[in-house]
Amino acid sequence: MNSELMFFILAGMILIFSVMTVTTRRILRAAVYLLFVLISTAGLYFMLNYNFLAAVQLTVYAGGIVVLIIFSILLTSHISERAVVAGWKQNLLSALSVVAGAALTLITMFNYTFTASSEPASGSSVKDVGTALVSYGDNGFALPFEVISILLLAAMIGAIIVARREKLKIEEKEIRREN
Amino acid sequence: MTGTIPLMYFLVISTLMFFIGIYGFLTRRNLITMLMSIELILNSVNINFVAFNKYLYPQHLSGHFFSLIVIAVAAAEAAVAIAIIINIYRNFKSIDVDKVDQMRY
């Protein structure tokens, strides 16, 4: 009973705040509502007993990505700037297609019977997760771990290069002027 | 702790969240709010992976690690996207998708 109540609170928060994220006119508020959605999702992970994943969700998503988004909002727009919204025609058409898509997915889902497995759950403590991340073989995830680290390195270098292009151009102009 | 909650509840939540994200992606005209809608979509997919892992294959951790990797990819994607958005803002003085109509400037 208690866990059900907790689930409905988290689910309600997720749905309400995700609707507010996509409908509010103020961009900074949308970022804060997104933060609430991500924190409630971490609560769902805690309920499923995946503690490490919930901690990662809190630190990387709620702590990292939201701060990055807020920084970029402050760099590119005024603090109380109102978002431009699409015309009513586009709003209506998107709402219709979204409702149709959601209805189709839900109908398909309810017509399929998922049979829950009764096997004992494997441990999901931080120790088990860490062992699986660096081992290879049947239950090891060493290869995706290495691939993701290279991807992160490449993304960081790429982001730096993309963001500092302007500076290089100014230097080029100055060199040309000197010549 | 999830003894009384059926799997379907999690799937309904993640479906609704996914389509709310798509609605935001279709109607928003600001690059940063579109990025936020994409984060919503990725997050709903993560809930799906984790719920399937817990209910259908509790003896493995595959879904758990898949969503861990999705979170890492989302972080990388957000970093690159924000670098691109800041560069667009420098060149066009706006991040409105209707005003950014030239790939070359």
Cα(B79)–Cα(B49) distance, rounded to whole angstroms? Answer: 24
Average pLDDT on B22-37 reads: 91
Cβ B72 vs Cβ A60: under 8 Å? yes
| Segment holding A145, helix H or strand E | helix A142-163
Distance of CA A125 to the CA centre of its chain: 23
The mean per-residue pLDDT over the stretch A7-23 comes to 93
- Reported as a single tens digit per residue, the pLDDT across B62-75 is 889 999 999 999 99
Interface of A with B in 39-58 (CB under 8 A): 41, 44-45, 47-50, 53, 56-57
8 Å CB contact of B43 and A38? yes
pLDDT-above-70 percentage for chain B: 94
Q: Name the residue facing B75 among A53, A65, A124 (closest C-beta).
A: A65
From chain A, the residues in CB contact with B65 under 8 A are: 132-133, 141, 144
Q: Which CATH number is A1-83's, of 1.20.120.1200, 1.10.357.10, 3.40.50.880, 1.20.140.10? A: 1.20.120.1200
* Phi, psi for A82 (deg, rounded to 5): -90, 135
Under an 8 A CB cutoff, do B28 and A85 touch? yes
Q: How distant is the Cα of A160 from the closest Cα of chain B, in angstroms?
A: 7
pLDDT digits (tens, 9 = 90+) for A44-58: 999 988 999 999 999
- State residue B17's pLDDT score: 95
**pLDDT, position B3:** 64
Ramachandran category for residue A49: left, alpha or beta (phi over 0 → left; psi -120 to 50 → alpha): left
Largest CA distance in chain A: 78
Q: Who among B19, B71, B79 is closest to A155 (CB)?
A: B79
Residue A168: the pLDDT is 58
Tokens 């040309």 sit at which residue?
A176
pLDDT, tens digit (0-9, with 9 covering 90-100), for A134-160: 888 877 889 999 999 999 999 999 998
- Bridge partners (DSSP) of residue A26 are A82
Amino acid letter at B48?
N
Beta carbons of A117 and B60 less than 8 Å apart: no
C-beta separation of A84 from B96 below 8 A: yes
3-state DSSP assignment of residue B103: coil
ipTM: 0.91
Average per-residue pLDDT in chain B?
A: 88
B93 touches chain A (CB under 8 A): no
How far is the C-alpha of B3 from the C-alpha of B55, rounded, in Å?
10
Question: Which of A162, A164, A165, A169 is the mutation pick for testing B, counting most B CBs within 10 A?
Answer: A162
pLDDT at A41 over 60: yes
pLDDT at A3: 84
CB proximity B92 to A under 8 Å? no
Q: Which amino acid is at B21?
A: G
What is the C-alpha separation between A47 and B1, in angstroms, rounded?
6
The answer to whether A73 touches A31, Cβ cutoff 8 Å, is: yes
Tens of pLDDT, residues A71-113? 888 888 776 667 666 788 888 999 999 999 999 999 999 998 8
pLDDT score of A165: 61
Residue A45 exposed, middle or buried by CB count within 10 Å (0-12, 13-18, 19+): buried
Determine the pLDDT at residue A30: 92
According to the model, what pLDDT value does residue A80 have? 66
Is the distance from CB of A159 to CB of B82 less than 8 angstroms?
yes
- In chain A, % of residues over pLDDT 70: 87
Judge whether residue A167 has pLDDT over 60. Answer: no
Using the Cβ of A92 and the Cβ atoms of chain B, whether some distance falls under 8 Å is answered with no
pLDDT for the residue A98: 95
What is the third-level CATH fold of B7-92? Helix Hairpins (1.10.287)
Domain ranges of chain B: 7-92
For residue B69, give the nearest of B77, B80, B60, B79 by alpha carbon: B77
Write down the H helix ranges in chain B: 7-27, 31-56, 62-92
